[in-house]
Structure formats: structure tokens, C-alpha cells
Structure 1
Amino acid sequence: MLKKPESNEYAPYYEKYVSSVPEGDLLQILDGQIKETMNLVKGLNEDQAHFRYAPEKWTVKEVIGHITDTERIMSYRLLCVGRGEKAKLPGYDDNEYVKTGQFNRFSIKELLEQLSHARQNTIALLKSLDDEALLRSGNANGTEVTARAIAYIIAGHELHHRTLIKERYIGAESFGGTH
């Protein structure tokens, strides 16, 4: 079973993500998480899916698009680091990705299909990495990170945003309707 990474295996910024992942089989956690996130938002109507809890914040659709983009990027990093890539992997501007992703033009169903496919690919990739590969480190966004840390960051990132969707979106008085 994949063990949680040590704090020296990732940048301090990611501590909030890694520490939020519960103990247990990470593959099962990743599979269960995606189902919880999908169940949380699949029944939203269009008004709810376009809700922003503050004027400058993303819509629910944009949050789902962001989770998917980040999963894809982190999964690519997981592949590179796990395979021993020596080149430095670039960072990305998540606000720019959301802006150019135009996620509001998609239905919630379409966005959740993309998220589900991204997660299935992440799980398949993780299953292909042995213990040695998971302990390899590489440079992503200017910091050293191990492959197993990236796997936990993926899980923690989704959990972070699901919590925000529950609390700041669905939990907002002005959200509209019940879910």
C-alpha cells in the first residue's frame, strides 16, 4: 500500500492537500473521492452550476474544470517523475487555464465525464508505478517532489475543492434551490 509522503517530498504549499488525505489505500481513496464529487454536483441546475459565491470567484463549472485540468497536469508530472524525467517541469497559471478553458459552455454532465476520465487515467497510471518509481523525485514548478507526493497532492486538491463547493457554493444562502 502506498504510504503518505514525508514533508520533505513536496513543497510546503502542498501540505494542506497531503495532510487532508485520509489514511488508507490511496487507489481506493481516489476512486471513492471522484464518486463523492460527482454525486455532489451532478444534480445541479444551470443557475446553480453558474453560481459564484463572490463576483471574482469561479463558477461551480469552472471549479470542476479546474479540478480536471489540475488532475491532468499533476498526472503528467506523476508520469514524468515516476519515469525518471530529469528536465524541470513547468508550472501553470490556474486562473489563466480557467479563463481560456471556457468551462461554462459545457454541461455539468460533460465536465464530470472529463473529470471521471482524468481520474481513471490517474488511477491506471498509479497502478503501473512500482515502489521504486513512486519514490523517485523530480522538479516540478521549481521544487523537488516525489511521485508518491504528487499522487497525494492530486487526492488532496480534489478534496479541497469539493469542500469549497459544499461550504461556499452549495452552502451559500444565495445558492438557489436545494441540492
Structure 2
Amino acid sequence: MTYRLSKQDYDPYFGTYIGLVPDGSVTKILEQQLGETLEQFRNLSEEQGSFRYAPGKWSLKEVIGHISDTERIMSYRLLRIARGDKTPLPGFEQDDYVEAADFDSHLLSELMEEYSLVRRSTLCLLKGLSEDAPTRRGIVNGKEINVLALAYIIAGHELHHRKIINERYGIE
């Protein structure tokens, strides 16, 4: 999937995430991220997974769970729009999802396996899209967006959180 995005393809709110994604095929970028992220967390302990860099901030386990949840939601949106569904799709409140998930009760290895499976599922979806699907448009949270932008948001959202993980959790 190597189509080029324009600013008319997405809500400006997502521009920060999309701007983090390097040039190239978004599917190849997502594949590369999968390996990099798994490597980044390969040797972390449960104690490190429960670390919060400040009171009230998410633990590392919660960040990983949040990345997976957000990718699921964005992939679902991508699927619906790619298949021509014109039903407007709602937004979601990330903090409510993290609170309800109780990610800290999970093993870090389980959360990483879940992340891996979610990403592999996203990649299968993207690789199976019809040729014209990336430019199909839909409404998400009251704003117009296209399929390709959703794929870039998935990649950029993860890059955003990996940067935070590097800077605030001290994990490279």
C-alpha cells in the first residue's frame, strides 16, 4: 500500500501521528514495527511492566494494552470503511478502556503476544484489501477519513507511544 496521503484524507487531530510515519509502504512499516517493538520488550521483567514514571500515569503494561486496543479499533474502522460501509463510526475514550481492561493484572508476555496477534491481524487485513480500498472514505467521530489514513494512524500511534516509552520509561 504505497498511495500518498493528503491533509484532506484525515482529521487534523491525527496529523501528529501520521507525521511520525516515514515514507514508504505502510504495510512494510507496520511489519518492521512489529519486530522492533517485540525486541524492545523482549527482556523486560514484570516489575518493569508495572512501572509508572509518575503518579496517575499509565504503567508500561497499560501502554502496551492501549496500543493493542487502539489498533483493534482503528483496524475495525479501516475494515468497515474499506468494505464500503457508510455508517458513521463513533469515537472512544482511551482512559475508560485502559481502566476497564485491568492490564496490570496480565503478564507482560501475554500483553506482548496479544500485541503481536493484533498487528498480524492488521497486516492480513491490509494485504487483502482491494486495489481501490485505500482511498475509500468514511465518517469517524464526526470527521471524514480514508482507509489509508487509518493505516498510517495505527503506525504513527505506536511510534508516538514508543517515543514516550523511550523518554519517560527509559526503555530503548
Q: CA deviation at 1:47?
A: 1.7
User: Which SS does the other structure have where 2:39 is aligned?
Assistant: helix
Q: CA deviation at 1:48?
A: 1.1
CA distance in 2, matches of 1:40, 1:170: 11
CA distance in 2, matches of 1:52, 1:46: 12
In the TM superposition, what are the counterparts of 1:1-179 in structure 2 within 5 Å? 1-170=1-170
Partner of 1:176: none
* Percent of pairs with identical residues: 48
User: Which SS does the other structure have where 2:132 is aligned?
Assistant: helix
Q: CA deviation at 1:134?
A: 0.8
**Structure-2-length-normalised TM-score:** 0.96
CA distance in 2, matches of 1:153, 1:58: 21
Q: CA deviation at 1:43?
A: 1.3
**Structure-1-length-normalised TM-score:** 0.92
State the 4+ residue runs in structure 1 displaced beyond 6 angstroms. none
Structure 1 counterpart of 2:5, one-letter code: P
CA distance in 2, matches of 1:35, 1:100: 28
CA distance in 1, matches of 2:153, 2:135: 14
Structure 1 unpaired stretches of 5+: 172-178
Structure 1 counterpart of 2:47, one-letter code: D
RMSD after superposition: 1.2
